[in-house]
Each structure stands twice: as structure tokens, then as C-alpha cells.
Structure 1
Amino acid sequence: MIFTVKKTGFIAFILLLGMMLVLSACGSKDADENNGSGEVTGPAAETPQAEEPAAEPTLLDKIKESGKLRLGTSADYPPYEFHKLIEGKDTIIGFDIEIAKAIAADLGVELEITDMGFDGLLTALQSGNIDMVLAGMTPNEERSNAVDFSDVYYTAVQKVIVRAEDKDKYKTIDDLKGLQVGAQLGAIQEGIVKEQMPESKLRSLTKLPDLILDLKSKNVEAVVVEEPVAAAYIGANPELVISDIQLQQDEAGSAVALPKNSPELVEAVNATLKRLADEGKIAQFVTEATNAMENEKPE
């Protein structure tokens, strides 16, 4: 019995040792397959990618989506922009308008024109009521702080209009000391009168035709305007002339005013302006607008 027990114990020991070796081998295999983590691994799961938020549409995107470009202008400034009866219909024309039409065409949208006082144009632009301004507007530091500007598309010389009977009377700035000199409200000419004619009395009105009427009625002695505008009004009012008064010229020129921080729209407008200049179209528009003023009294 003693031998039997010992033999049986020995056999059991051998069996137990064998089982331990098998389990150890399986454990090593499982560890290898599971990278030693003890966890079952399978194919790498794809990490869900967070969707990027949609880009905010630019003003240019919105204009194209709406299908229209809203232009603000002050249509009393020939040959830039002015009213004329065409086939019995009151129509706003001028070389600024032709430029605006070209910009709209390049964007693939329709042009919508709003006529308002010059002094209200930038406010309308800032409030989003219009998309751009073409109105013979000169970029200056104050305006550039409020809106963006395109490249300059036209540069004109500033002139002084007087009554023909007073041409020999008013030949220098000093001749207008203490006298009323007119300029359009909010226009660059206001600054010219203030800076270059400090001893004259500035009279500012919203509408240029009202200033011309004041000049003819002797409520003012002179009006400061750009040369092509002066030529247009003199052509319709032979009792007026361009005086010999010489003004300092800043060569600033006219540019398209656009909402602040709208680089895509500025770029698109500049592309059209460059194309028009390269093709000689702007000079053509100026000539055509000036010719349209012949025998047409500015209103």
C-alpha cells in the first residue's frame, strides 16, 4: 500500500506539472497576441474625426448668392454720375455707373443703384444697406479708417467755378477772403476750402446743383469742384466759368469705397478696375459721359 500511494502521488505530480507547462505556454501565447496587456486586441478602431465648422461666408459670397450688387451713389456729380431722361425715363448714367456695371458683370450679378446725399453714403455702407460706393470719392485717412478702398481708378484736378462776369475779379485765393465759397457736404472739396481758403466762409450743401444755383444767385462767390464736373456744369450754364485761381493738387484721385474687412470683394473690384484700365475702357467711359452732358442741364 505504501508503494502504491507513493506511485500514485508521483503520477499525479507529473500530471500536474504537465498541466502547468501547458497553461504557461498558452499564457505566453495569449500575452504575445495581446501585446502583453492581457486584453484581447483586434483591428485598430478608427478615431472619429470631428467635422470642421463651415467657413463663414464672405461679403463677396453673399453678393453672389443674392444675385445683386447694391451700389450707393450721389447722382448730382456729372460726368461721374447724373440723371438724364432716356426714352422718357429718368436714368442715372455716368462713367462711375459704367464702371459699376462692369464690376457687377464680372461678378455675375445684377446692379442695383441707390441715389442719396453724398454725406450719407459711407453711413449706408457701414450699416450694410449698400455693398459699395462709386461717387467720385477720394480716399483720405478719415474715410479709410471707416471703410476699405479699391485702387484709384481716376484722378482729376480741382478747379474753382465763378460767374463769368467775375472772372477778372477773382484770380487768386486772396481775392475770396471773407467771401462765401461753396463745396459739397462731405466731399473732399470741403477740406480743400478749409485748408487752402481758411479766410473764406465755407458754405456746404448736400446737392451740388443747389451750390451752382447759389453761385448764379450770388449767394456764394465761388464753388470748388473737380475739373470734369466743372466743365459739365459750365457747358450747361454759360454764365459760369472756371476761374484762374490755382489750388494745390493732392493727386489722390477717386476710388471705390467698400465695407471694412472685405478683402475678397476689394480684390475682385481691383481686378475689374485693372482690366478696364488695361483695355482703355475707363478713358472711354469718361469721354462718353462727358459727351452725354452736351446740351443736358445737370439736375
Structure 2
Amino acid sequence: MFKKGKNKLVAVLIIMLVVLSFSGCAKNSANAGSSNNEAKNVESAVDKIKKSGKLVLGTSADYPPYEFHKEINGKDEIVGFDIEIAKEIAKDLGVELEIKDMKFDGLLAALQAGKIDLVIAGMTPTEERKKSVDFSNIYYKAEQAVIVRAEDKDKYKTTDDLKGKKIGVQKGTTQEQIAKDEIQNAQLKSLGKVTDLVLELQNKKVDALVVEHPVATSYVSKNAGMVISDVKFKDQDKGSAVAIKKGSTDLVNAVNKTLERLNNEKLIDKFVIDANNMVE
């Protein structure tokens, strides 16, 4: 009698273990299925852009010929060769381009916050910036230049001549770092917009400005009282690249594909020439 009862107890225990085992497997299978579904539901950067139907560009439109404001047919528009590049990227993605104009030093924060999809603003891909965002291949290289008042052209010919002087630079740019590194004891005045820096130079609140050469050429052509000095820097030709949110490999690849096409077709050179011609 006792033996039969014992056998029944063993049988019940075995059944319970089998049921628990199947229950655990079913739960793990459900979890695995849930994880797979979640992975499938994660949209790539390119998918999100295509789904929204627009590519949101962040730029700082005070940097001719890269990007700047111009009145066209009575309407204020943002133009420049960076903008033309952005249009081509949007076209290749099959979406519309939306432009958000902001201060240069706020662009990467906006990118990281997801307020914009990419940054095209004559930005140099420094090692410091690479810690927080990804970059495309270099799409354009330009030398740095120093703008001075015409009356001071013979006064400032080398970086030594600028020692201890008040130097205007755009805040957060490569030019800001170059001025710090190559002009001894420079008194830097860093502002968000180049237009404000030009006013500072005209009003004799700074002695010189450090900007990229195409930008210098653009502003000097519009202001008879300013010239490009003979000052040369050692730190040259790092180039500009498109900044993209960290980890967006698919968008980086898509942007690089467009840039490769534009370079092969010599269109970037054309965009630069056209943009320079648009500067008043």
C-alpha cells in the first residue's frame, strides 16, 4: 500500500516538473520573440527620414559662400554651396529638404538632441567633435585667411605681427582653435556670427578676423575698407565634412554615396563657383 502511494507521488512530481519545464521554455520563447520584434521595430536613421518625408538640415547661415541669406524674388532664402550639397542628399534619399538656421556653436547639441538630421556648415571633423558625432568623408578643403582693415594691411603680415592683438573668431569653429594655437597671447573675441565679427572689425573693436579663405573673399568683396592680409597659418586644409548623429551608419553611408557622386560629376566645384557669384 505504502509502495503504491510512493509511486503515485513520484509520478505526480515528474508531471509537475515536465509542466514547469514546458512553461519555462514557452516563456523564454515568448521573450525571444518579443526581443526579435523589438529589434525589427527599431528604425534606422534613413528609414526615419524617408518615413517623415523630409531631411532636416542644421546650418549657420552667415558663412558665405558656404551658407548665407539672400533675397531672391523678394523672399529671404538660405543659399550657398553647402545648401546645394544638402539638396542633393535629400534628392538621393527621395525626400524634401528642411533648413534650420542657428548659431554654429549650437549645431552639434541640436544634432545630438534629434532636432536635426545632419549638420552641413563648413564644419571641420576634429578629434574632439568625433567623440560626440559621426562625420562623412571630407567634401571640401579651404585655407584659412586673416581679414584686417585696409589701413592695417602692411602692419599685419605674419602671425608674429598679431601677437597680443584682439582677434575675432566665430565661436566653436576650427578658426578659434587655430588662433589660440598659432597667435601668441591673442586676445580672442568669439562671437556666434561672422556678420557680427565684421562689425567688430569695422568699429575697431578687434584688430583682425580669422576665417576660411572663401568666407574672407566674400566679405572683403563687399567691404572696401577690409582686405585679406598676408598672414599664413601652419594648420591648413583639414577640410569640411557632414556631421551626423553618432551610430547612424546607414545615413553616413548614404551621405558619402551622394558626395562621391557629386565629386565624380565635378558638381561641388560648380556649387562653390555659383555660390561665390551669388554673394553680393
* SS of structure 1 residue aligned to 2:242: strand
Match 1:86 to one of 63, 72, 82:
72
Secondary structure of the corresponding residue to residue 92 of structure 1? strand
**Structure number having the greater helix percentage:** 2
Residue number in structure 2 paired with 1:209: 195
Letter of the 1:196 counterpart: E
CA distance in 1: counterparts of 2:108 and 2:232, whole angstroms: 30
Which of 113, 118, 128 aligns to 2:104? It is: 118
Deviation at 1:173, TM superposition (A): 1.1
Matches within 5 A, 1:50-199: 51=33, 52-53=36-37, 54-55=39-40, 56-199=42-185
Residue matched to 1:236: 222
Measure, in 2, the Cα distance between the counterparts of 1:188 and 1:68: 30
Whether contact under 8 Å (2:178, 2:235) holds in the other structure is: no
SS of match in other structure, 1:152: coil
Contact 2:160 2:184 in 1 (8 A): no
Identity of aligned residues (%): 60
Q: For the residues of structure 1 that align with 2:84 and 2:235, how far apart are their CA atoms? A: 26
1:245 aligned to which of 231, 238, 246: 231
Larger Rg: 1
Equivalent residues in 2 for 1:276-295 (5 A)?
276-293=262-279
**1:198 Cα shift?**
2.9
Deviations 1:242-288 (A, max 9, x none): 10111113321000000000000000000000000000000000000
TM-score of the aligned structures, taking structure 1 as reference length: 0.81
Where do 5+ consecutive residues of structure 1 fail to align? Answer: 1-46
Q: Cα deviation per residue 1:75-107 (whole Å; 9 max; x = unaligned)?
A: 000000000000000000000000000000000
Measured in 2, the distance between the counterparts of 1:258 and 1:224 equals 26
RMSD of aligned residue pairs (Cα, Å): 1.4
1:219 to 182, 205, 218: 205
Count of matched residue pairs = 248
User: Does structure 1 retain, via aligned residues, the 8 Å contact 2:144–2:236?
Assistant: no
> Which 5+ residue runs of structure 2 have no aligned equivalent?
1-25
TM-score by length of 2: 0.86
